[in-house]
Amino acid sequence: MTVILGIESSCDETAAALVGDDRRILAHKLGTQEALHRPYGGVVPEIAARAHVEVLTPLIEAALTEAGMRLRQVDAIAATAGPGLIGGVMVGLLTAKALSYACEKPLIAVNHLEGHALSPRLADPTLAYPYLLLLVSGGHCQLLRVEGVGRYKRLATTIDDAAGEAFDKTAKILGLGFPGGPAVEAAARLGDAKAVPLPRPLKGSAEPHFSFAGLKSAVLRAHQAGVHTPQDIAASFQAAVVDCLIDRTAKALATCDDVTALVVAGGVAANASVRAALEALASRAGLRFVAPPLWLCTDNAAMIGWAGIERFAAGLIDTLEVPARPRWPLDPDAEKVRGAGVKA
Ligand code: KG4
Ligand code: ZN
């Protein structure tokens, strides 16, 4: 069996995992920095990088202990090399380089988005290429045709904010706390999704792109008007996001007639309303729907280890010169979208 050590440190989770090519997760250790960032209402890059330095090595040691393995017994070391907050990415990638050099093990630089994109295959052995992926996280909102390891065709992206970012900003406006996604989902459960009329940006437009900035501004105006409860605004906001995600995904689906499944991944895929609506869309289209378990949707090291397994099997090994990259598109040939901000 091939076993890979996976390392994740691109945002506010530090994680180490040992993953086998038989899809067994021999160990997974995750340290969340939520409490450190909560006073600021968002992730502070400098604080994140320092915290990664402090906890990464103990997490790797704990993962090895849990799996009953020594570092020399792993076959390769995979780490997120971008995109993400560059200080954190450098901590994980440099640690991986040092271990790779010291133990003479191959190094695999993983694109964090590829980790999310392939995570459904870790959870479901029957999921075959090609599949249509809705990748919805804090920094990204994209529709991708996943054709194989390292082969991604971007069909759509956001022209401004990512969906998770909209959840986080809505939580901040409504005073629901940090991290925003789960807080908005919990508040939405207590509210009326029809109470507040909110826009559905780009719904019905020809290209399947996304936009969430206008929705966020509408949430701010609704809150300032002081008429509705935070629960009603949260429920109405979540319904608007789901509407947009479904409309845009349906548009992209109409252009892919050979995909084996509709798949969702990334932090926002942990949202029950998002999952249920996508499942219904897949069923209308006569397609399988695949979503990883909740813990595999948000940032973790098992998905980085698994991407490492797929890359290792394909002979995709990196050298110690591989750079840490704050930006790293999955599809380098994707056209720039008019109005697209830094999140594209
Ligand atoms: O994939 P992820 O853990 O980190 C990035 O790579 O960005 O995604 C984090 C994002 C955050 O914006 C968070 O608010 C959102 O995913 N999120 C959710 C939920 N859980 C996490 N959004 C909506 N509902 C949730 N239950
Ligand atoms: Zn992520």
Ligand 1, CB within 6 Å, residue ranges? 11, 137-139, 164-165, 167-168, 179-182, 185, 266-268, 270-271, 298-299
Which residue, judged by its Cα, is nearest atom 16 of ligand 1?
Answer: 267
Question: Is residue 324 in a domain?
Answer: no
175 inside domain? yes
Residue 80, in any domain of the structure:
yes
What does the pLDDT read at residue 46?
95
Rounded distance, CA 141 to CA 162, Å? 5
Q: Residue 195: what pLDDT?
A: 98
Residue nearest to atom 23 of ligand 1 (CA): 181
Contact (CB, 8 A) for 165 and 343? yes
The type of residue at 67 is A
Residues of the chain with pLDDT under 50: 341-344
| Same domain (yes/no): 264, 231 | yes
Question: In whole angstroms, what is the distance from residue 266 CA to residue 138 CA?
Answer: 8
| pLDDT for position 337 | 84
CA distances from 87 to 5, 91, 324 (A): 21, 6, 9
Do 209 and 233 have their domain in common? yes
Strand partners, 80: 110
Residue nearest to atom 1 of ligand 1 (CA): 267
Pick the ligand that lies closest to the CA of residue 303: 2
Q: Do 303 and 282 lie in a common domain?
A: no
Q: Are residues 88 and 144 in the same domain?
A: no
Q: Same domain for 220 and 144?
A: yes
**Which CA distances in Å does 241 have to 20, 39, 169, 192?**
36, 27, 13, 15
Same structural domain for residues 166 and 239?
yes
Q: Please tell me the predicted confidence (pLDDT) of residue 336.
A: 83
Q: Do residue 169 and residue 250 come from a single domain?
A: yes
130: tokens are 């090609």
Distance from first CA to last CA of the chain, Å, rounded? 38
Is there a single domain that holds both residue 105 and residue 237? Answer: no
326 within a domain of the structure (yes/no): no
Per residue in 149-203, pLDDT (tens digit) is 999 999 999 999 999 999 999 999 999 988 899 999 999 999 999 999 999 999 9
Residue 341, in any domain of the structure: no
Pairing of strands 141-148, 131-136: antiparallel
| Domain-located, residue 150 | yes
Same domain? For 79 and 177 the reply is: no
pLDDT at 339: 65
Please tell me the total count of domains within the chain: 2
CATH code assigned at 53: 3.30.420.40
CA dihedral 143, 147, 151, 156 (to 10 degrees): -20
| pLDDT tens-digit series, residues 196-240 | 999 999 999 999 999 999 999 999 999 999 999 999 999 999 999
In this structure, the answer to whether residues 41 and 143 fall within a common structural domain is no
Q: Which residues surround ligand 2, an ion (CB under 5 A)?
A: 137, 299
| 10 and 64 fall within a common domain | yes
pLDDT at 340: 54
Residue 342 lies in a domain: no
Residue 158 is which amino acid? T
Q: Which amino acid is at 124?
A: D
| Residue 289 forms part of a structural domain | yes
User: What's the 224 CA to ligand 2 centre distance in angstroms?
Assistant: 31
Q: Are residues 102 and 134 in the same domain?
A: no
For 309, the domain range is 3-116+299-313
